[in-house]
Chain A
Amino acid sequence: MTTTLDPSRRSRRSRASWLRSPLARQIKAPVVCIGLTLALWQLLCLPNPDGFPGPIQVIQQTWTPYISQPFYDDGGTAKGLVLQILISLQRVAIGYSLAAVVGVAVGLVIGLNDFLRRGFDPLIQVLRTVPPLAWLPISLLLMQQADPAAIFVIFITAIWPIIINTAVGIREVPQDYINVARVLRLGKISYLRDILMPATAPYVFTGLRISVGLAWLAIVAAEMLKADGGIGFFIWDAYNAGGDTSTSQIILAIFYVGIVGLILDRLVGMVGDRVSGRRR
């Protein structure tokens, strides 16, 4: 492209060429659109400097300690945002792992047994639509303590997509592969290992990916109501404090929550792609 013989146009061409590079093309649209959104936000907040903060104020007001010192720890619940997020992630990790293990196991049983599948399907369909917070009172009654209760909410929210997708995956194992197994008279273990699990894996990971989003959704909500520490607690705490910079703190925390949720989703997606990528 740059080998044009017309020297007068070379500079324009070369400038255009980096803009057309793949990376630039990818970033161009998000940068422009997000930039415009931020600018609009800032513009809307300009008339009233003491009211809702614009993006520049948010960064100014939270720079110390929340952005510059993400790992500070003043004891008690006064912790840096990364530490708060780690607390939440720990709860998610426990609840989500439990949901994954139990969910895959239940999905396996239900997928293999037609009677159980038809019997439990209505129940699962009803329970999976229950919002995470609705589980919290029952969870507190059951667990008595805040921490296990939050974990239970995560578990009960995240388990349904895993069960449903695992069961569907097992039912959708292509007849061709089942026929191969029948003709070869594969043993139970070999069938599970060589046919059932690889064929079902993409479905299971779809379920896991949906669940991780739900789990993150649930933990923030649960922590806002009843918890010591965690990013949800941080948001609620900032709101209750009602200081000058509270709004900025909340906005910053929300941004962090979003970023972490995105990372979690991509992480599970990546693992799933690696596992099911063997299919391709």
Chain B
Amino acid sequence: MATLLTVDNVTQSFALPNGSNYIAIKDIDLEIKDGEFVSLIGHSGCGKSTLLNLMAGLAQASQGGILMNGRQITDPGPDRMVVFQNYSLLPWQSVRQNIALAVDAVMADASREERSAVVEANIKLVGLSSAADKRPAELSGGMKQRVAIARALAIRPKLLLLDEPFGALDALTRGNLQQQLMQICQEAGVTTVMVTHDVDEALLLSDRVVMLTNGPEAGIGQILKVPLARPRQRLEVMEHPDYYALRGELIGFLQQQRRLRQRRGEAKAPRLAGAGTGARPSKGPPVSAAPTTIRLGYLPGLDIAPLALALDRGFFREQNLNVVPIVFSRWQQLEEKLKAGELDGAITSATTPLALTLGLHGKPGWPAITPMTVTRNGNALCMARRFLDAGVRNGRELAALLQAQPAPLRLGIGQMGSMQELLLRHWLASSGLDPDRQVSWITLSPLAMQSALLNGELDGFIAGRYRVAQAVEAGLAYGLATDLDIWSGHPEKVLTCHEGWAESHQDHLLAFCAALMRAGQLCDDGGQREALVGLLSQPQWLGLASAVALQRQFDLGNGEPAGDRLPLNRYHSDRAHSANPAEGCWILSQFSRWGWSPFPSNRVELLSRVYRSDLCAAALERAGFPALPTDRKPFALADGLRFDQDDPLAYLKSLPFAGQPVVASLLLPDSASADRSLPSP
């Protein structure tokens, strides 16, 4: 079906009397197809009606636009008729006059008889023939609503916009009217957008339910397809086997949003109280003379190039931050120090914030957040040369070899549950290898991979491409796959910190992120490459040997012609910084796929707590970069399977070696009750 309405990256803000702006909705993207019935649902104040008014053209978006049939909506018009919340019937006109006013205005070319026939037909359609000469004051609420619907339908709009149409009606009247509206909309084939807060109403009427997150800056949290056959009957719908799962999804979302709102309220309250009672030692402006120290943990790798550059160029000092980089050689140690509060933040694998929060592998949950992605891409899988000698040049050939010689493959990873492991598992599974039965996983420091391969303790490992390049140069190994063959543009390293620390040090965190983003932009700049490699060759970052590898021709060692120089990671371009909950959702799907954790039914709450796109946006703004609008479109990895964050279970079921997903509501750690005490400011 053709797209009728396109909501393109719409943000709406209102000026407040105190001069600031209230951002009601932010970065809304939505496509509505011809003939579709879409509901907008969310808690009060989430901007549902704001969005509806924008679609009607009664207001203009501050940013972005809304297209109808490819043309931008700039003013209201009868092709987008609104049924207002309070009916908006003219009290001085009868039912017939009210409808006639609309018909006469819109069908001015038709003859008087034709117009009158349309009016009468629509009065009859909603069963109000006997009340046609009454004024609205003489009608019940349900009758008024029917008049409003008749008036809207009489002018044959392309799009019918309903603002909580049944909110003020008693249950019995509401049920009848819903049924009537459904029939009428279906018979007339009119595209409809309805704002509601009634879950059952949304499910009964809609093809899709768009769930909005809490305002301010409300966005689309989730879109639920309602795959129930039409025509629908209330009782049949409620008895449908899928109904309660769908209903649970909606209610779960709304409950998660309520909890998030409460958390947000709680997080704000103590800070205000603290300022009021003078609990803070200094009441002065946050820019104090002494710079704030941030202790940041990392493992050497190309991923930390922006950190090295930001330190070198003094980006942190400009922000009055004293960033102390603390190097680790094993991820486990870094995580332990982070949890103990000896680090304020760390550059970790993209999976770490979720893994820490969920408490994967039997650990207690620890509320982690990520405000930004530090780098994307940069990994490669290398195998010992004997696999090349056996003719293994791709995943299928590897699977075939293992079929013939059934010994488990010994693969090295830097960290259990890291992004690298997920990528490798995904690639192996796509190649037909069972990562749990045909592979034995060996966790060791990335710095020790090469020697382990040399000693024959490993058949291969996944690591940064420059490490693979070094192993290839040493003549030990060849590159079998890079992450470009698995998921080009995947998040690799993210900034991770404690939820409570982020809350109490939000300003410092934003300043830190902004500096890191600026450095990331420089890292992506080809002209800076020489300087960057020179910087990274210092011992505390990569060391000379590794950095030199970056300057050579990149050679996978598989006999194919060498390409250009080793491509660096992606640090800035193409939305690299975004803390994208959709990617987090993919990570959750993999946690579930490999049986590490059930798939969380409260994933929206989890993701919006961990993936702080609000902080990301604030940091981008502070760094002077344009905002990265949320992109809710499904994406595909190199295997071509589309991942839709609104329907991750369908994706999960379509994956090889996934099994039947277990869905459960996961207990999320509370930042106040965490085992880490908050550092005093």
Contacts and interface: CB of A to CB of B under 8 A. Distances in A.
Contacts of A198: 90, 92-93
A276 to B, nearest CB: 9
Instruction: Determine the interface band of chain A, counting residues with CB < 8 A from chain B.
Output: 10 to 19
A181 to B, nearest CB: 9
Interface string A174-190: 00110110111111001
B97 to A, nearest CB: 8
Nearest to A194: B101
A195 B86 CA distance: 17
A180 B90 contact: yes
B78 interface: yes
In this complex, the member of A184, A186, A195 whose beta carbon has the largest number of chain B beta carbons within 10 angstroms is A184
Contacts of B76: 179, 182-183, 185
A12 interface: no
B90 A183 contact: no
Q: Is chain B's interface secondary structure helix, strand, loop, or mixed overall?
A: loop
B1 to A, nearest CB: 25
B90 A177 contact: yes
B135 interface: yes
Interface string B98-115: 000110111000000000
Contacts of A177: 88, 90
B637 interface: no
B93 A182 contact: no
A9 interface: no
Contacts of B86: 176
Given A190-B101, A194-B101, A278-B135, A183 B56 contact: yes
A280 to B, nearest CB: 5
A278 B90 contact: no
A279 interface: yes
A182 B104 CA distance: 14
B80 interface: yes
Given A190-B101, A194-B101, A278-B135, A183 B91 contact: no
Contact of A184 (B58, B92, B93, B105): B105
A183 B101 contact: no
Interface residues of B, number: 24
Contacts, number: 58
B639 interface: no
A279 B81 contact: no
Given A182-B58, A182-B76, A183-B80, A176 B105 contact: no
A273 to B, nearest CB: 14
Contacts of A180: 84, 88, 90
Interface in A145-203: 176-177, 179-180, 182-187, 190, 194-195, 198-199
Contacts of A184: 78, 101-102, 105-106, 155
A279 B91 contact: yes
A179 B82 contact: yes
A183 B78 contact: yes
A140 B271 CA distance: 72
B614 interface: no
A176 B84 contact: yes
A221 B141 CA distance: 53
A170 to B, nearest CB: 16
B88 A179 contact: yes
A183 B84 CA distance: 11
Given A179-B88, A183-B58, A184-B105, 14 more contacts: A176-B88, A179-B58, A179-B76, A179-B82, A182-B75, A182-B76, A183-B76, A183-B80, A184-B78, A185-B76, A186-B101, A190-B105, A198-B90, A279-B137
Interface of B: 56, 58, 75-78, 80-82, 84, 86, 88, 90-93, 101-102, 104-106, 135, 137, 155
7 contacts: A179-B58, A182-B58, A182-B75, A183-B77, A184-B78, A184-B105, A186-B105
Interface of A: 176-177, 179-180, 182-187, 190, 194-195, 198-199, 278-280
